[in-house]
Amino acid sequence: MNHQVLTDELEAVARSAGAAIMDFYGACPRVKLKTDGSPVTAADNAAEAIILAALAKQASHIAVISEENERSHELQAPQRFFLVDPLDGTKEFLKNDEAGAFTVNIALIEHGQPVLGVVYAPALDRLFAGTVGSGATETCKGKRRSIAVRSPPAEGPVAVASCSHRDDATERWLAENDISDTISIGSSLKFCLLACGEADIYPRFGTTMEWDTAAGHAVLRAAGGHVTTPDNKPFTYGKPDFRNGPFIAASGAG
């Protein structure tokens, strides 16, 4: 299937999953803790069921690694596979505040790199989609526009950082690079703010999983940005346990 056609279809899937999540938003769903201590709710599971059923129908020949399907974490990553986080930013979801910084993430990985991705923030009605080689878009309140990274402003780059996982290493990196203007936001929206030109750089030193980053990374790549390790090496997918190391996401070619 053509990558752009698949991206378009996944937008509809992400919207359906987002609608299921919103059915639970503000309803104080019961929270369980997974073996790694992270929270999971009925909203995570409902969204995942929708996504997995859709992928099984649309692309049954492609393996799926999904956050809430722990059996899939035991797979050895093939050359082509989906990475799914049905509710990225569960902690932000549980806050039930006006920020609404939680997302549905769906990405396709080929040969270690994300080639397409969809990130949907249902509480904000912002849907970002990107196909590497074809560009990236944002659809908000029914209006669709092309997006691309910007050149950093003359007064200096704007960084995005995690709301729930900001650490001392991030603060040191920002200080060492003389970056004082920062935006705090949750989930993979951090990648998307870079992709649509609202920010310029996203340093991350704490642990993330591949399903946390792949969709946002794809959107950023499609918009002209890149993600590398802090020592400027390629940032790849299909690692053991699907666990990420530190990375720097930024605007500009790379």
DSSP string over 143-182: EEEEE---PPPTT-PPEEE-SS---HHHHHHHHHTT---E
- CA dihedral sign, ordered 140, 145, 149, 150: negative
**At 250, which amino acid appears?**
A
Q: Are 157 and 184 in contact (CB under 8 A)?
A: no
125 known member of a binding site: no
Tokens of 76: 């050895």
85 known member of a binding site: yes
67 known member of a binding site: yes
Tokens of 156: 């200096």
212 known member of a binding site: yes
Give the annotated binding-site residues. Answer: 67, 85, 87-90, 212
- Binding site feature residues for substrate: 67, 87-90, 212
* Binding site members for Mg(2+): 67, 85, 87-88, 212
